[in-house]
Structure 1
């Protein structure tokens, strides 16, 4: 079996990476969380997604510690800047603090975490400038809806964004109506956060759905591996599930080798239909 890949910022990476939201908060979990991140890389993941917001920097510090024994050149590291720091005056200092916590001299992708009061043109201009310094290799956006993406593309340099990170899973398919078709037309990959819906109201519903369970049995995999395989069925999608368990992390990465059949995808579409009209962007 072959692991699915996605091309972001000119690099081809496995389509399942490692999310770190909620990690780094509990000192008692630190060793287990570091072991899980390292297990994910050993299993074949290359992408680690974090943000200055996660635990007010604690997730970045955790990632920095976890990656010390690994080859930085083989990793694709993503972090994000908060809206209040996404200005010409504050962004570089915010980035420098992230780099210090991450124990690296650059991030491979720096995302504008969500929109705030700073004019989008100013944020884009500063992201472009920081890319020229080498501290970030590429930049993108997060929690952008279709109107945000269209506005971004109309700005000078806006079409240099290399990814948009949004909430996306089988139980939250609003992106399928307009955002994903637009991104496909503009060759802009999606980074899907919370791709198995853990921690939101859909989670238990998805994991106990009879169709999902039947497909899992047919492939001898877990229901969460089915959900991940569904999320990356599009070759322009990178999923970043989070887990503090070595066993679950290994299963997550292995889901990149699972291909659902057209019949199975149709059955999931019937259970969880794609939207027929524009929906509000889901954010958690």
Structure 2
């Protein structure tokens, strides 16, 4: 996961170097600046990203946040990129309910595969309106900063007594608990439980990646979830979308 914004494109170049010889083993995501998301400029931006990444296609291409260029233009560009095989899917990032409504009202808008937003235990605002809206329409949520940037976005998060006690009781680390919470399965309309949140934590080394991956194997008990809910309750009203 990268974006043309990160380090002015240098992050894409680093990702491209890491994927040499193993591109097919990765699901590659990048994002376009809102001011580059026009009918033609989005295509030029995507092609520049592909060149930096050293690949001929992206698995997912996202509009980084809502901007001034009409969404109709962005959707047209995304569809042209998909038809050309340069992207497999497209989606959006940092869209709240109003923006998602506007997106879905446009031709081709319902083809958007995902909405990437900030979501972690200490920032649960999307649970009030946005997450239910997306779940009702089968749209996955991609959660960025699921560890609150190692606790920097909410400084007491990783040292909160409840978090430490629950993690210790489950025999896992606090960061693994935060990840397991973010991707916890939820009950579907038929009663089955499934995951519909994709967490994208930062990792700085192989050991870090492996520790993060173990979150997929963690089952949180009802008691653990209840304790976390009590310590970090979801808001009872709509709140502004958190963005970093």
What CA deviation, in whole Å up to 9, does each residue of 1:222-280 have, x standing for no partner? 10000000000141010000021332222111112111111111111111111110100
With the length of structure 2 as denominator, give the TM-score of the two structures.
0.93
- Partner SS, residue 81 of structure 2: helix
Q: Which runs of 5+ in 1 are unaligned?
A: 1-48
Q: Which runs of 5+ in 2 are unaligned?
A: 186-194
- Partner SS, residue 40 of structure 2: coil
- Partner SS, residue 205 of structure 1: coil
Q: Is the 8 A contact 1:51 1:80 kept in 2?
A: yes
Does residue 248 of the first structure (1) align with residue 199 of the second (2)? no
- Partner SS, residue 21 of structure 2: coil
With the length of structure 1 as denominator, give the TM-score of the two structures.
0.80
Does residue 157 of the first structure (1) align with residue 157 of the second (2)? no
The offset of 1:200, in angstroms, is 6.0
Change (3 A) 1:95 1:126: same
Q: Across the two proteins, how many residue pairs are aligned to each other?
A: 235
**Match among 86, 104, 108 for residue 135 of structure 1:** 86
**Match among 3, 15, 19 for residue 63 of structure 1:** 15
When structure 1 is superposed on structure 2, of 88-97 and 156-165 the one drifting more is 88-97
The offset of 1:199, in angstroms, is 5.7
**What is the rounded CA distance, in whole Å, between the counterparts of 1:200 and 1:91 in structure 2?**
34
- Partner SS, residue 191 of structure 1: strand
Q: Which has the higher contact order (CA 8 A, sep 6+)?
A: 1
Quote the residue 2:45 is aligned against. 94
Change (3 A) 1:282 1:121: same
What CA deviation, in whole Å up to 9, does each residue of 1:59-107 have, x standing for no partner? 111110011132x223211000101100012111110110011111000
**Match among 216, 234, 237 for residue 274 of structure 1:** 234
